[in-house]
Amino acid sequence: MDIAEFVKLSFGKWRSQRSAHNLAFSHFEQVISTIDIVPLSSEDPAVIALCESYKIEPKLAIHPFRMSWEGESDWEEGEIIKGTTILVPISDPNDPKKGQLLRDQGYAETIPSVGNYHFNEEGCFILITPYDRAMAEERIWFGTPNLRFRVSLIKTSAGTGVVTASFASEIRCLDKE
């Protein structure tokens, strides 16, 4: 598994079922959402701008994409959570199993972020993103080509304590729209 194959497998519409565990208080949160992952051109002005903001050559971008989500949490009944972000993978020229992921809106904090990813021997994508006051560790892997799992940990910025752990099961929507 490399980043090109991983991103291509991720393109499409997904129905996501996510559970978050607040570890200090044993609280649960349940989120049902729809996630759209669509390819972007390397020449897309937003992709170029994001690369330039990190002083990275836009031509090093591999399968940049847009991820949009819309869903509902049991913590805020009736309220729709939605958002969109651009993600740009930059593969390490010396190691196809690792690289950087630029993001115009972060997961733990809604500011641009850059994370380091690698693939383990099983093809699991592992992304570590440092933020100002937190650190996110995400693992995403495919159970089948139409089933994706994601474990996300929000850690203290030193990376020692885990504040929130969440798990998402994402099923590809195969129905035509």
**Residues near its own copies (CB under 8 A):** 15, 17, 19, 21, 23, 26, 28, 30, 32, 120-122, 143-144, 147, 149, 151, 153, 160-162, 165, 167, 169, 171
Give the nearest distance from C-beta 95 to its own copies in angstroms.
Answer: 15
- Residue 50: Cβ within 10 Å count: 22
Give the nearest distance from C-beta 153 to its own copies in angstroms.
Answer: 7
Give the nearest distance from C-beta 28 to its own copies in angstroms.
Answer: 5
| Cβ proximity to its own copies, 46 vs 165, nearer residue | 165
| Cβ proximity to its own copies, 47 vs 154, nearer residue | 154
What six digits make up the tokens of 128? 């570590």
| Cβ proximity to its own copies, 57 vs 175, nearer residue | 175
Cβ-based neighbours of 24, under 8 Å, separated by 6 or more:
163
- Note whether 119 and 95 are within 8 A (CB): no
Per-residue DSSP letter, 79: P
Give the nearest distance from C-beta 20 to its own copies in angstroms.
Answer: 9
Q: What is the rounded radius of gyration, in angstroms, for the C-alpha atoms of the chain? A: 16
Give the nearest distance from C-beta 53 to its own copies in angstroms.
Answer: 32
| Cβ proximity to its own copies, 57 vs 77, nearer residue | 77
Give DSSP secondary structure letters for 21-32. EETTTTEEEEEE
| Cβ proximity to its own copies, 94 vs 160, nearer residue | 160
Rounded Cα gap, residues 19 and 54, in angstroms: 33
Q: How many helices (H) and strands (E) does the chain have?
A: 2, 10
